[in-house]
C-alpha cells in the first residue's frame, strides 16, 4: 500500500475516517510509483476510474507541441471559483514555457484573476505579458461556435483542460459532486476541448471526480452525492486522473521537464503553498470547505482550507514527493527544447519621444511570451521635435511621414505606431510608404476597447489625446454605437515625469511626487468604470502604481496597456510573413534606437532595461544612411569589406551630417 501523507508532512490532523481514504492505490503490476502517488487518496473514489500511466503519456504527447492552450476554471457556486485547477494550470504552463513552448491560458472572467494570481507566483513576467483569454460565451450552439473560433484564432497544436466542468452524458448540464446544476455560473469552456478534438489537435484532460472535461468515456465514474448523473461527456485523447487535479497537472509538468532534462525547473514547495494562498486571496474558495482562509476548518471540522480539504502545506509535501518519484523513474527518451526562430524579424516602433522606448520594451515582452518568434526592434523616435501635442496637423503629417520613411528605409517588416498623437496624422502621413505595413495604435486600441472594455471604459492619456474626438468616434464605430467612453482623463504631469526618469529614481521626494501625481488622476476615475486604458505609451511605466492606487480606493478595475493588442496584431503579421527573407540577418536582438535628439543613450538604456542598445542620431528623411546600420542588422557579405560591425565613433551620413553610435555592446538576449 502506498501511503502518500505522513503526520510529519501534514500541517493538519488526519482523522481516522480520512486516514482510511489514503488507501486507494494498491501496488499492482499496472501501476507506477507516479500512479500510486496520484491515486493515494481515494475519498472521492478516483480509483474507480483511474487511468494508469495517464500523466506520463500526456507529457510524452505534449513533447511534440510548440503551442499549448491550457483551459481551467471551476466555480462551485455563484462567484466562487475553486482553488483546484488554476494552480495546476499555472504549474504546467510554467513547465511548458521552461521547455520553450508557447502557452495560452483560457478561462472565464470569474476565474481569470484567480489564474493570474497563481501564475504570478511561479512566473511574474508571464503574468504581466502572457496571453490570458477570457471565454464567457453562452451555452449551446453559439457557445460551441465561439469555442471553435478561439481554436481557429490561436491555432494551438495541443489543448489541456485542468479541473474544468464538463457537460454530462445525453446533453445534461454540468454538475458538481453534490449533484447541483452549475451551468449558470460556469461558461462552456469545455467546448474548446471538443473543438480541438474535432480538428485532430492533441487533447489532454485532467480530473479527480469524473465530471471534468477529458474524463468522458472512462468507466467507473461514480454518481453525484445526490444520486444524479455527473459523468463527463467530453473526451480527451490523453485523460489524466489524480486525487486532486492540481497534482495531476503538476505530474504532467514534472514528467515533461524530466523528459527535457530540466526537472530542476519544477516549481518549489514554497511556491506551491504560495500559489494556493494567492488564489484564496484572489477570491477562490476550497471546493470542500468553501472557505477562503488557508487552514480554516470546514463546518464539520473534518477538513482544512487549501485545496480539496487539505492545507497548502499538505500540497507542498505532495509536490516534494512528486519530485522524488519522478527523479526515480526511468524516463526513457529525452525531449528536445522547442526551437525558436534563429533569425529575428525586425519590428519598427515609432513615437515622438520616450514612449516609443517603453512601448518597444513591452511589445518585445508580449511577443516573446506569446509567440515562437525572435523579434528585434528598430525604434524610431523624434526626440528633437517632441512634444507632438503642440504641433499643427500639417507639421504632424510631415514629421510622422519622415519618421515612418526612416523606419521603412531601415528595412523593418512592420511598423507598430507607439504614439497616439502621431496616429492623428493618418492617412496622409503614410502616403509615401512603399510597402511597409503600419499598425495604427488608435484604431487597434479603439477596437480592443469596444470588444473588451465593458460598457463603461475610461482612457488615461495626455491632455491633447483626451480632448481629441478621435478615440470616442472610433470606439463608437468599432462597437456599432453600443459603447461610449465613460471618461477621458488627461494626465498632464505623467509624461514629463517619465521623460525625466523620476519613476525610476531612488530619491524619496521624487518617488513621493510621482505617487502624488498618480493619485491625483486615479482619483478622477469614476467608480463605475469597467476598464482603464493607458492611451499614452509613456503611461504603462506607471501601470503598477496606477493599479495600486485604484485598489487603495477599494475598486477592482482592470488597467490595460494597449501594446498588448498591438503585439497580437504583430504576432498575426509575423505568423503570416513566411515570405520575409531573414536568412542574411544577424542572430541579434539588441534594440536599435534612431532619434533626432541628443544624449538619448542613457534614457534608452534605462527605459529599455538593458545595456546593449545601439543609439544612432539622424535628421530623418533623405539624410539617413542605411550603410551605417546595415552591418548591425545583416551578416556582412564577403565582398563588403566589413569583417565586424561598425565600432563606436563618429561617421558621416550621405547628407554630410554626423551620426553618433553609442552603447554598442552586443548581447543576444531579447528586450
What is the 8-class DSSP label of residue 457?
E
Give tens-digit pLDDT for 491-537.
999 999 999 999 999 999 999 999 999 999 999 999 999 999 999 99
Average pLDDT on 399-412 reads: 93
Q: How many CA atoms lie within 13 A of 463 on its CB side?
A: 7
Length of the chain: 671
Q: Are 546 and 494 in contact (CB under 8 A)?
A: no
3-state secondary structure of 132: strand
Number of helices (H), then strands (E), in the chain:
23, 21
Which 3-state string (H, E, C) describes 199-224?
CCCEEEEEECCCCECEECCCCCCCCC
Distance CA 334, CA 650 (A): 51
Round to whole Å and give the CA distance between 200 and 6.
Answer: 43
Burial grade of 392 (CB within 10 A; 0-12, 13-18, 19 or more): exposed
pLDDT in tens, 348-371: 999 999 999 999 999 999 999 999
Per residue in 154-176, pLDDT tens? Answer: 999 999 999 999 999 877 899 98
Which pLDDT score is estimated for 120?
Answer: 98
- What is the predicted pLDDT for the residue at 26? 54
pLDDT digits (tens, 9 = 90+) for 425-459: 999 999 989 889 999 999 999 999 999 999 999 99
Distance CA 658, CA 594 (A): 13
Q: Are 627 and 605 in contact (CB under 8 A)?
A: no
Q: Could you give the maximum distance between any two Cα atoms of the chain, in Å?
A: 88
Average pLDDT value for residue range 79-92:
98
Helix, strand, or coil here: 440?
Answer: coil
Task: Assess contact for 271 and 111: CB atoms under 8 A.
Answer: no
Q: What is the DSSP string of 479-496?
A: TTT----SEEEE-TTHHH
Q: Is the peptide bond before 427 cis (omega within 30 degrees of 0)?
A: yes
| Fold entry, domain 442-562 | Rossmann fold (3.40.50)
pLDDT of residue 637: 61
Give per-residue pLDDT as tens, 17-56.
444 455 555 555 568 999 999 999 987 789 999 999 999 9
Partner residues linked to 533 by β-bridges: 459, 560
pLDDT for residue 6: 39
Rounded to whole angstroms, the Cα distance separating 416 from 434 reads 16
Please state, for a pLDDT cut of 70, what percent of the chain lies above it: 88
- The answer to whether 290 touches 76, Cβ cutoff 8 Å, is yes
Strands 457-461 and 531-534: parallel
Q: Compute the distance between CA of residue 584 and CA of residue 436 in angstroms, rounded to an integer.
A: 19
Please, what is the angle between helix 112-122 and helix 269-281, to 10°? 150
Q: What is the mean pLDDT of residues 303-316?
A: 97
Provide the pLDDT for residue 24: 52
Mean pLDDT of the residues in the chain? 88
Q: Once rounded to an integer, what is the mean pLDDT over residues 569-598?
A: 90
Q: Please, what is the Cα angle at 133 between 131 and 138, to 5 degrees? A: 175
* Domain residue ranges of the chain, discontinuous segments joined by +: 50-311, 345-440+567-662, 442-562
Q: Evaluate if residue 623 carries a pLDDT over 70.
A: no
CATH architecture of the domain formed by 345-440+567-662: 3-Layer(aba) Sandwich (3.40)
Percentage, residues of the chain above pLDDT 90: 76
d(CA 266, CA 93): 11
Establish whether domains 50-311 and 345-440+567-662 are of one fold: no
DSSP 79: T
pLDDT band at 334 (very low <50, low <70, confident <90, very high): low
Between CA 73 and CA 93 the distance in angstroms is 15
Could you list the beta-strand ranges (E) of 181-307.
202-207, 238-241
Residue 171 CA to residue 148 CA, distance in Å, equals 19
- DSSP-based three-state secondary structure for 658: strand
pLDDT given for residue 23 in this prediction: 52
**Phi then psi for 130, rounded to 5 degrees?**
-70, 170
User: What pTM does this model have?
Assistant: 0.88
Q: What single string gives the DSSP state of each residue in 80-104?
A: EEBSSSHHHHHHHHHHHHHTT-EEE
pLDDT tens digits for 121-130?
Answer: 999 999 999 9
Omega of the bond leading into 387 within 30 degrees of 0 (cis): yes
Q: What is the b/e burial string over 295-327, where b = at least 16 CB atoms within 10 angstroms of the residue's CB?
A: ebeeeeeebbbbbbbbbbbbbbbbbebbbebbe
Beta carbons of 651 and 628 less than 8 angstroms apart: yes
Mean of pLDDT values over 304-313: 97
Confidence class of residue 642 from pLDDT cuts 50, 70 and 90?
Answer: very low
Measured distance CA(408)–CA(329) in Å, rounded: 55
pLDDT score, position 593: 95
Mean pLDDT of 177-197: 95
List beta partners, residue 438. Answer: 415
Write the DSSP symbol of residue 641. -
Q: At 330, is the pLDDT very low, low, confident or very high (cuts 50, 70, 90)?
A: confident
CB 83 within 8 A of CB 286: yes
pLDDT for the residue numbered 643: 36
The three-class DSSP label of residue 165 is: strand
- Correct CATH for 50-311 of 3.90.1640.20, 3.20.20.70, 3.40.50.2300, 3.40.50.20: 3.90.1640.20
Among the listed residues 286, 264, 241, the one whose alpha carbon sits nearest the alpha carbon of residue 37: 241
> What would the mean pLDDT of 278-304 be, rounded to a whole number?
96
Q: Find out whether 346 and 376 touch, Cβ atoms under 8 Å.
A: yes
Task: Give yes or no for a contact between 625 and 654, defined as CB atoms under 8 angstroms apart.
Answer: yes
> CA–CA separation, 632 vs 110, rounded Å?
47
Burial of 287 (0-12, 13-18, 19+ CB in 10 A): buried
Query: For position 267, what pLDDT does the model report?
Result: 98
- pLDDT surpasses 50 at 644: no
Amino acid at each position: 500500500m502506498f501511503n502518500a501523507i505522513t503526520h510529519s508532512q501534514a500541517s493538519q490532523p488526519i482523522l481516522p475516517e480520512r486516514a482510511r481514504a489514503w488507501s486507494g492505490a494498491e501496488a499492482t503490476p499496472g501501476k507506477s510509483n507516479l500512479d500510486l502517488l496520484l491515486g493515494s487518496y481515494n475519498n472521492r473514489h478516483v480509483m474507480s476510474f483511474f487511468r494508469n500511466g495517464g500523466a506520463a503519456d500526456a507529457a510524452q504527447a505534449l513533447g511534440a507541441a510548440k503551442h499549448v492552450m491550457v483551459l481551467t476554471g471551476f466555480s462551485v457556486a455563484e462567484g466562487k471559483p475553486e482553488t483546484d485547477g488554476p494552480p495546476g494550470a499555472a504549474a504546467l504552463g510554467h513547465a511548458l514555457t521552461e521547455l520553450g513552448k508557447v502557452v495560452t491560458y483560457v478561462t472565464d472572467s470569474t476565474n481569470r484573476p484567480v489564474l493570474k494570481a497563481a501564475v504570478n507566483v511561479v512566473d511574474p513576467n508571464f503574468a504581466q505579458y502572457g496571453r490570458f483569454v477570457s471565454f464567457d460565451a453562452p451555452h449551446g450552439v453559439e457557445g460551441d461556435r465561439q469555442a471553435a473560433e478561439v481554436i481557429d484564432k490561436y491555432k494551438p497544436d495541443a489543448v489541456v483542460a485542468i479541473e474544468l466542468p464538463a457537460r454530462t452524458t445525453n446533453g445534461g448540464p454540468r454538475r458538481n459532486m453534490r449533484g447541483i446544476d452549475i451551468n449558470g455560473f460556469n461558461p462552456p469552456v469545455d467546448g474548446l476541448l471538443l473543438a480541438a478534438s474535432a480538428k485532430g489537435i492533441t487533447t489532454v484532460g485532467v480530473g479527480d471526480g469524473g465530471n471534468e472535461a477529458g474524463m468522458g468515456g472512462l468507466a467507473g465514474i461514480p454518481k453525484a452525492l445526490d444520486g444524479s448523473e455527473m459523468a463527463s461527456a467530453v473526451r480527451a485523447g490523453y485523460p489524466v486522473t489524480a486525487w486532486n487535479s492540481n497534482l495531476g497537472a503538476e505530474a504532467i509538468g514534472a514528467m515533461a521537464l524530466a523528459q527535457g532534462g530540466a526537472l530542476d525547473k519544477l516549481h518549489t514547495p514554497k511556491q506551491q503553498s504560495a500559489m494556493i494562498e494567492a488564489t484564496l486571496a484572489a477570491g477562490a474558495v476550497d471546493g470542500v470547505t468553501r472557505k477562503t482562509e488557508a487552514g480554516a476548518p470546514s463546518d464539520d471540522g473534518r477538513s482544512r482550507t487549501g485545496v480539496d480539504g487539505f492545507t497548502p502545506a499538505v500540497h507542498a509535501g505532495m509536490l516534494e514527493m512528486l519530485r522524488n518519484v519522478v527523479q526515480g523513474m526511468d524516463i526513457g527518451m529525452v525531449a528536445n527544447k522547442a526551437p525558436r526562430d534563429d533569425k529575428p524579424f525586425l519590428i519598427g516602433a515609432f513615437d515622438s519621444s520616450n514612449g516609443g522606448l517603453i512601448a518597444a520594451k513591452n511589445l518585445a515582452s508580449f511577443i516573446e511570451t506569446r509567440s515562437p518568434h525572435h523579434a528585434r526592434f528598430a525604434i524610431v523616435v523624434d526626440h528633437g521635435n517632441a512634444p507632438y501635442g503642440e504641433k499643427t496637423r500639417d507639421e504632424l503629417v510631415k514629421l510622422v511621414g519622415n519618421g515612418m520613411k526612416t523606419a521603412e528605409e531601415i528595412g523593418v517588416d512592420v511598423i507598430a505606431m507607439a504614439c497616439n498623437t502621431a496616429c492623428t496624422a493618418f492617412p496622409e502621413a503614410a502616403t509615401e510608404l512603399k510597402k511597409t505595413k503600419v499598425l495604427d495604435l488608435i484604431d487597434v486600441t479603439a477596437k480592443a476597447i469596444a470588444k473588451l472594455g465593458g460598457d463603461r471604459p475610461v482612457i488615461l492619456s495626455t491632455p491633447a489625446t483626451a480632448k481629441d474626438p478621435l478615440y470616442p468616434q472610433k470606439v463608437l464605430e468599432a462597437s456599432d454605437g453600443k459603447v461610449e467612453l465613460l471618461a477621458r482623463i488627461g494626465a498632464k504631469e505623467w509624461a514629463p515625469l517619465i521623460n525625466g526618469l523620476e519613476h525610476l529614481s531612488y530619491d524619496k521626494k521624487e518617488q513621493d511626487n510621482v505617487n502624488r501625481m498618480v493619485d491625483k488622476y486615479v482619483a478622477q476615475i469614476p467608480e463605475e468604470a469597467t476598464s482603464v486604458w493607458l492611451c499614452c505609451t509613456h503611461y504603462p511605466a506607471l501601470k503598477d502604481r496606477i493599479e495600486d492606487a485604484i485598489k487603495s480606493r477599494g475598486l477592482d478595475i482592470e488597467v490595460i496597456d494597449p501594446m498588448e493588442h498591438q503585439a497580437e496584431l504583430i504576432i498575426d503579421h509575423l505568423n503570416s510573413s513566411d515570405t520575409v527573407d531573414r536568412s542574411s540577418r544577424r542572430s541579434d536582438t539588441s534594440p536599435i534606437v534612431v532619434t533626432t535628439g541628443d544624449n538619448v543613450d542613457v534614457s534608452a538604456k534605462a527605459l529599455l532595461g538593458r545595456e546593449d542598445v545601439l543609439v544612432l542620431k539622424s535628421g530623418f528623411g533623405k539624410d539617413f544612411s542605411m550603410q551605417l546600420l546595415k552591418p548591425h542588422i545583416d551578416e556582412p557579405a564577403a565582398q563588403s569589406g566589413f569583417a565586424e560591425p561598425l565600432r563606436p565613433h563618429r561617421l558621416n551620413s550621405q547628407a554630410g551630417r554626423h551620426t553618433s553610435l553609442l552603447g554598442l555592446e552586443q548581447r543576444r538576449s531579447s528586450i
